[in-house]
Amino acid sequence: MRNIKLYFGLLVAMVFVLTACNQSGDTVTKPKKVVKRQKPIIVPIFNQDSAYNYVKYQVDFGSRVPGTKAHSECAQYYVDFFEGIGLKVYQQKFKSRAFNGKILDGINIIASIKPEEKRRVLLCSHWDSRPFADHDPDPKNHNTPIDGANDGASGVGILMEIARQMSKSNPTIGVDILLLDLEDYGQHADETPIANSELTWGLGSQYWSKNPHIASYDARFGILLDMVGAKDVVFYKEHYSNTFAPGILDKVWGAAANIGYADVFKSSQKGAVIDDHIFINKYAYIPTIDIIHYDESTKSNFFPYWHTVSDNMEQIDPLSLKIVGQTLLEVVYREK
């Protein structure tokens, strides 16, 4: 009897302990909360050789001066390229009066990634080339059209490679690639400046900013590329970019620093450039910055072969294309 009572007593005690532990929750294993892990952000690798070839394809058409065969053929090349990788393409044809009174036929080309997405970013570059090499050391060349390998084609080549990467792996946001025409038909340097001569530049961006390809078009921000493919490229924070969109400058320059390009994207401000971004800021109200090569060693503060017959493929460095292209991919793919 003693053993039975002992066993019975032990059993009651164990039940009491287990019940107490269960009530206190000290020793009962609770179900773990399921933590949903965010997918890692995978940024595509920019292919510098691909971008270089896109620059070369443009230059091979010849000088992309409005009204020429090279101009019309290159425009069709862009349309075929973007449609060929499955993007929605808009062709915005327009007319504009040049500084010399000539009526020019222009065409802005817009390629859209995820056109249904409301959250959008604008990436742009001009694609036309200067009709006059008016800053060439030889005055005989001052009315000779330029190849515009760096001044125009380099930015477009980068955007074409970005579009190709995005067609394979979409970012979470929508992106519009805007190729602007008639940027480089500004007043000839040998002539006496006319009133409001700054308005003779960026004719395509002036038109698009007032007449976007989609009514009430809007984007979170814009990034303009201009002269971004030369050797030993350096970018400072341009004055008007810092005036209109300082936060976007910080975003882009921060992305460049994060992937090791702080020595190219300098943190200080230098230069004030009349470029397409001014009209996009002023008329389209989209905070837009200009990534443009700044060279302290030249009188113009642009790269040495600006608006000369020597702005050809010899000046293009694939590494410079890589630095800019990879930075833009970092910015876009990390935008939520």
> Is the per-residue pLDDT at 4 higher than 50?
no
Query: 270-295 pLDDT, tens per residue?
Result: 999 999 999 999 999 999 999 999 99
Summarize pLDDT for 128-162 with one digit per residue, the tens.
999 999 999 999 999 999 999 999 999 999 999 99
Give every CB contact of residue 78 below 8 A, 6+ residues apart in sequence.
109, 111, 127, 156, 160, 179
How confident is the model at residue 40, as a pLDDT? 86
Please report the pLDDT score of residue 37 as a whole number: 67
**259-279 average pLDDT score:** 97
Beta-ladder partners of 89: 111
Per-residue model confidence as pLDDT tens digits over 159-217? 999 999 999 999 999 999 999 999 999 999 999 989 999 999 999 999 999 999 999 99
What does the pLDDT average to over 81-92?
A: 98
Take residue 236 and report the two structure tokens written for it: 């400072």
pLDDT of 248 strictly over 50: yes
User: What global pTM score does this model have?
Assistant: 0.89
Confirm if 81 and 161 have CB atoms less than 8 A apart: no
Average pLDDT over residues 298-310: 97
Euclidean distance between CA atoms 125 and 115, whole angstroms? 19
